[in-house]
Amino acid sequence: MAPPDRRRRDPEPNPVTGLAAARARFMAWLARPLASFHLIVTIATLLTVLGLVMVLSASSVEAYADTGSSYSMFTTQATFAVLGAVLFYIALRTPVRVLRRLATPAFVVSLVMLFLVLIPGIGTLSGGARRWFTLGPLSLQPSELAKVALIVWGAHVLATRPRGAPWKELVVPLVPGALVASFLVIMQPNYSTTVTFVIVVGALLWFAGLSLRLFAGAAIGVGIIGVVLVFAADYRAARLFSFLNPSDDPQGAGYQSRQAKFSLADGGWFGRGLGQSRAKWNYLPNSHNDFIFAIIGEELGFIGCAAVIGLFALFAYAGLRISMNSVDPFLRLLTAAATTWIVAQSMINIGYVVGLMPVTGQQLPLVSAGGTSTAVTLLMFGIIANAARHEPEAVATLHAGQESRFGRLLRLPKPEQYSPAKAAEARRAAAAKADRKRAAQREAQRRSAQQRERRTREDQRRREEQRRREQQQRRRAEATRRQEPRRGTPRRGQALASDQRRDRSSGRAQERGFPERGFRR
């Protein structure tokens, strides 16, 4: 009989302990000063690469049918992705004070562009909507630029308001400016961008501290206006009815949603494989754009869809964490509103692809085909990454010379330290400037009222003088008539004497140049 093996055996690994250790390591990594910055850069890179791969896969068939090349849409998307990377880097290097200085001019320029795109000959009409500027082989959608401009300008305006300011100071001029932009977008028409504007303004006002009662009342009013806009166009009403009753028109208004569900169901858990989608063979319209999430589900399966949703959930965590850690109210409002916009747009897109919402036309950020949308979203990611480098712990670390390898590679400048005293002084200066402006306006109104009153008195005086002169003229004329002697004029029908007839006839003859003649007897 063999002796028992008394060697020490290693304990079997416990999966629960392994998960706890991984979670502890991840939480320790998140506790680093620049963790939020690296999260934003990583998420932006992964979503952009995934978007390029899926656009190439989903658009190859349609691109080959339209242009004879399977890479035409992919080339355009890659070009705008490179442009977006450049904008990301520029936003990463831009100081916060420059962003605030450019906020108002950028929003005004975006409004001008929204107006110009409506003019025939300047804006390009495609699919019944005039939304694009055509620049050679590329097209530019100004409504996408207006999203970023509205966020930066709205955060700049609300950051100048003191905490606990009246609701009128929070609403004006943010809401009027957003209404002007929304009206110009509705005229294109572009209902989905209008929804984005509503989300952005709502997020800004919510994080700025608007009371819940006013926020709920505004939400009800916006909902009523939204229902009116839905039924104002037949295609939007058809989308709503097809959502409420999918089997009513399966080959018409409900065709896209139906085919998207078939694609998701066909993918299963692990998908059919990259590039093996069947729906992109003209079964699913806009498979490379609005419904690219269905192609992800078909080719990468439930695992791929869960990965995309997980990336956006991680971005929501990182963005709100940056907002909470920011001591600058401008960066706090900007990152919170931008995070809400991107996450809400992604959830709306995924929601109508899986059938939880009616189709609205919202794109999946950084994943759907759309050059301007990709470039602008990368610009917004760059601004959020810039805000992450302005967290107090990150600023202290960077000023201590502990720059990350990625930051040294990009030669990023050190962020400026936020000073509450300087910010309070700037707010006081802005308030004093606003007070001087209001005082100047009141003074101008007072002077204008005085000038109007002076002109009114002068007009009354001139009218009185004119009336007196007219009365004096009437009195003089009446006195002159009274002083003139009355000439005797014979009554009509009364015969004149012979000497009177002779005098009158001789007078007429002399007037006509005839000599006076006597009467013959």
SS (H, E, C) 96-138: HHHHHHHHHHHHHHHHHHHHHCCCECCEEEECCEEEEEEECCE
Percent of the chain, pLDDT > 90?
Answer: 29
521 has pLDDT over 50: no
Identity of the highest mean pLDDT range in 216-230, 262-276, 295-309, 447-461: 295-309
Helix, strand, coil percentages, rounded to 5, for the chain: 70, 5, 30
pLDDT of residue 376: 93
Instruction: Provide the pLDDT confidence category of residue 383 given band limits of 50, 70 and 90.
Output: very high
pLDDT of residue 208: 86
Among residues 336, 345, 308, which one has the least CA distance to residue 205? 336
Mean pLDDT of 372-378: 92
Query: Which one is predicted more confidently, 165 or 222?
Result: 222
Query: Which one is predicted more confidently, 433 or 448?
Result: 448
Mean pLDDT of 169-187: 88
Task: Please state whether 70 falls in left (phi above 0), alpha (psi between -120 and 50) or beta.
Answer: alpha
Assess contact for 160 and 206: CB atoms under 8 A: no
Comparing 50-59, 108-117, 228-237, 305-314, which segment has the lowest mean pLDDT?
A: 228-237
263 has pLDDT over 60: yes
Instruction: Provide the pLDDT confidence category of residue 129 given band limits of 50, 70 and 90.
Output: confident
Contacts of 283 (CB under 8 A, 6+ apart): 259, 262
271 has pLDDT over 60: yes
Mean pLDDT of 248-261: 77
Query: Which one is predicted more confidently, 41 or 243?
Result: 41
Identity of the highest mean pLDDT range in 9-18, 381-390, 469-478: 381-390
Contacts of 337 (CB under 8 A, 6+ apart): 151, 154, 155, 200, 203, 204, 207
Give per-residue pLDDT as tens, 13-61. Answer: 565 576 778 778 878 877 788 888 999 999 999 999 999 999 998 888 8
pLDDT of residue 139: 80
Percent of the chain, pLDDT > 70?
Answer: 87
Comparing 178-182, 314-318, 414-418, 457-461, which segment has the lowest mean pLDDT?
A: 414-418
Mean pLDDT of 152-180: 85
Query: What would you report as the CA-atom Rg of the chain, rounded to the nearest whole angstrom?
Result: 40
Query: Which one is predicted more confidently, 51 or 164?
Result: 51
Mean pLDDT of 337-361: 90
Query: Which one is predicted more confidently, 165 or 203?
Result: 203
217 has pLDDT over 70: yes
**120 φ/ψ angles, rounded to the nearest 5 degrees:** -60, 140
The helix/strand/coil state of 140 is strand
Question: What rounded mean pLDDT belongs to the chain?
Answer: 82
402 has pLDDT over 50: yes
Mean pLDDT of 167-173: 82
E strands present in 89-240: 124-126, 129-135, 138-140
Identity of the highest mean pLDDT range in 80-89, 127-136, 232-241, 353-362: 80-89
pLDDT of residue 324: 92
Identity of the highest mean pLDDT range in 165-174, 213-222, 313-322: 313-322
510 has pLDDT over 90: no
Instruction: Provide the pLDDT confidence category of residue 519 given band limits of 50, 70 and 90.
Output: very low
pLDDT of residue 499: 57
Mean pLDDT of 506-516: 53
508 has pLDDT over 70: no
Instruction: Provide the pLDDT confidence category of residue 512 given band limits of 50, 70 and 90.
Output: low
Instruction: Provide the pLDDT confidence category of residue 138 given band limits of 50, 70 and 90.
Output: confident
- Length of the chain, please? 521
pLDDT of residue 31: 78
Kindly state the DSSP code that residue 446 receives in the 8-state scheme: H
